[in-house]
Structure 1
Amino acid sequence: MNFTFTDDEIAFQDAAKKVSAEVLKNNAKHYDETREFCSDSLKALGELGFWGMNLPSEYDGVDISSIGMTLAVEEVAYYCAATCSSLTAHFLSTDSILIGGTKQQKQDFLPRCAAGELLGAFALTEPGAGSNPAEMRTKATRTEEGWHLTGTKHYITNGAYADFLVVYAKTDPEAGHKGISAFLIERGTEGIEYASPEKTLGLRGSHIYEISFDCVVPESALLGEEGAGFSTAMEVLDRGRVEIAAMSLGIARAAYDDSLAWSKDRVVSGKPLCRHQGIQWKLAEMHTQLEAAKMVTYKAADSRDSDRRFSVESAVAKLFASEAAAMITDNAVQIHGGYGYSSDLPIERYYRDARITRIFEGTSEIQKLIIGRAITS
């Protein structure tokens, strides 16, 4: 495919790069070392409209193409992957409303989300139901007051900081995945408890939580139609996997750029490190993986704007880009030697941040299942 970016896409990428270089870059190390939530960086993005880059202009979104959005997400991740994680988690919640919500729900929430006023969280995963959401145990039972939700969600990005949660629960336990519905639950609802944020390997400024529910919400909290939750979630994850691929690109590109610059400056045995064949080969492999990851990611982004399902394209992009990021960040540590293992440089942070991209929004193994079933059907 010919990926010639439009003027609007390039301008949007440049805007994302500017705010990320000026604000996010300076905060990234602080968030990693202190485990403070990335509020300031998210706020900076929200003030410039980046919280709405997945939304159409009808709801005050940026109305940029998926290619333009991918380029912007890549820039955010290049400077701070933790902020990128919280941002893309917000997109999962607003995509849920955009895809599955009623007209009133869209009008009530999406413009405020696009304006950076409301932060969302996507509550699908459970302690015993990660790769297979159909095994979830969270239930919603209709009552005179509306719906009674009980259960526990786990690894929910933005959790306690979110102004609203999109919670997936079984409204008909006997109907399998067709008995799953989604609910739009606002912050402050009585009967919701948040555990302390998990202490994670990477993305330390993007907090994840276990959330327990024993609450009653009004009938209006049902997102769209009863029983449509699983279908909504799968469409949302198709979109989200393109964003994780873009996030992987950003982390990988940062590691590659730093490694290339280091290899030119670092002198070993009387010549720059990059003049040693072993290092040249590592850099060549990193460059090739990065370029290939860009192609599958941009292809998936292009497919996202089509009128057809793009599950395979998004799975391919997420699988390849995340695995490429793992290889590139690992080689970056090796090229930097002991300096790469030290927290004085961001290399080891890239390595840690990249690890989760092979897990969330569906593990690499799940992506292989999606691809394998599609090509053999």
Structure 2
Amino acid sequence: MVPWSGLHGASGGSDVAGIRTVATKRDSAFVLNGQKIYISGVLEAERWGGGHLTLAKTDPGAGHRGISMFYVPTSTKGIEVSKIENMGRMGISTGIMRYANVEISQNNLVGQLNKGFYYAMDGFNHARVLVAGACIGAAEAILETGIEYIKQREVFSTKLKDYEAISFEAAELRTRLEMAKLLNYKAA
């Protein structure tokens, strides 16, 4: 497990074109070198087998037009997996995958060479709707918990729900949540 302080020098974020992992063509294979950070399910993939998709620069001078997508079996020699200790999302691990001369078949190229950036962007469009839906569901659960509390809690012999400042705020939050839900439906 990697504590937050042990991540110095690692990069992460949504700048897909700024990745540093490189895949070099060698005969009928590609050799991966680099690392991926904040990857979901690293321990599960290592434990249960299977693999994962990754992006790597196959033409580093071409910017986002030189990135390809690969399927990488997690058990491939040269892959090191470590977990990041973080808060939240405890149902699945988050971690780092390091590639040190990881050789994969050219058959593991997903789609066309140098089109990985475009595949990832298309995937993000779908994922954003799903993530928004999960956040809306969490917000609904929190709001319902709060509403139940203000219906039951009494202060100065009066239920909190009977104070306009509190009930109006709850109504405003419900309205904003419904707007977010409808916008997400439209996006879907």
TM-score (norm 2): 0.89
Residue correspondences, number: 175
The answer for unaligned runs of 5 or more in structure 1 is 1-125, 302-377
Match of 2:23 in 1: 140
Q: Provide the rounded CA distance (Å) in 2 between the counterparts of 1:127 and 1:300.
A: 33
Contact 2:20–2:34 (Cα < 8 Å) also in 1: yes
From 97, 120, 124, give the equivalent of 1:211: 97
- Aligned pair 1:279/2:166, yes or no? yes
Deviations 1:322-342 (A, max 9, x none): xxxxxxxxxxxxxxxxxxxxx
Contact 1:154–1:211 (Cα < 8 Å) also in 2: yes
Q: Which amino acid aligns with 2:87?
A: L
Match of 2:5 in 1: none
Q: State the superposition RMSD in angstroms.
A: 1.4
From 135, 139, 149, give the equivalent of 1:262: 149
Contact 1:171–1:180 (Cα < 8 Å) also in 2: yes
Q: Which amino acid aligns with 1:247?
A: A
Larger radius of gyration: 2
Q: Provide the rounded CA distance (Å) in 1 between the counterparts of 2:28 and 2:76.
A: 14
From 40, 45, 65, give the equivalent of 1:157: 40
- Aligned pair 1:242/2:125, yes or no? no
Higher strand share: 2
Q: Provide the rounded CA distance (Å) in 1 between the counterparts of 2:10 and 2:135.
A: 25
> What secondary structure does 1:200 align onto?
coil
Q: Provide the rounded CA distance (Å) in 2 between the counterparts of 1:169 and 1:202.
A: 28
Note the 1:311-322 alignment, pairs <5 A.
Answer: none
> What secondary structure does 1:243 align onto?
helix
Contact 2:150–2:160 (Cα < 8 Å) also in 1: yes
Contact 1:129–1:135 (Cα < 8 Å) also in 2: no
Q: Provide the rounded CA distance (Å) in 1 between the counterparts of 2:166 and 2:146.
A: 10
Higher RCO (Cα < 8 Å, 6 or more apart): 2
Match of 1:228 in 2: 115
Q: Which amino acid aligns with 1:245?
A: A
Identity of aligned residues (%): 34
> What secondary structure does 1:212 align onto?
strand
Post-superposition shift, 1:241?
0.2
From 11, 18, 31, give the equivalent of 1:128: 11
Post-superposition shift, 1:147?
0.4
Q: Which amino acid aligns with 2:85?
A: K
Q: Which amino acid aligns with 1:148?
A: V
* Runs (4+) off by over 4 Å: none
- Aligned pair 1:296/2:177, yes or no? no
Post-superposition shift, 1:199?
1.9
The answer for unaligned runs of 5 or more in structure 2 is 1-8
> What secondary structure does 1:260 align onto?
helix
Higher helix share: 1
Contact 1:145–1:216 (Cα < 8 Å) also in 2: no
Q: Provide the rounded CA distance (Å) in 1 between the counterparts of 2:185 and 2:150.
A: 29
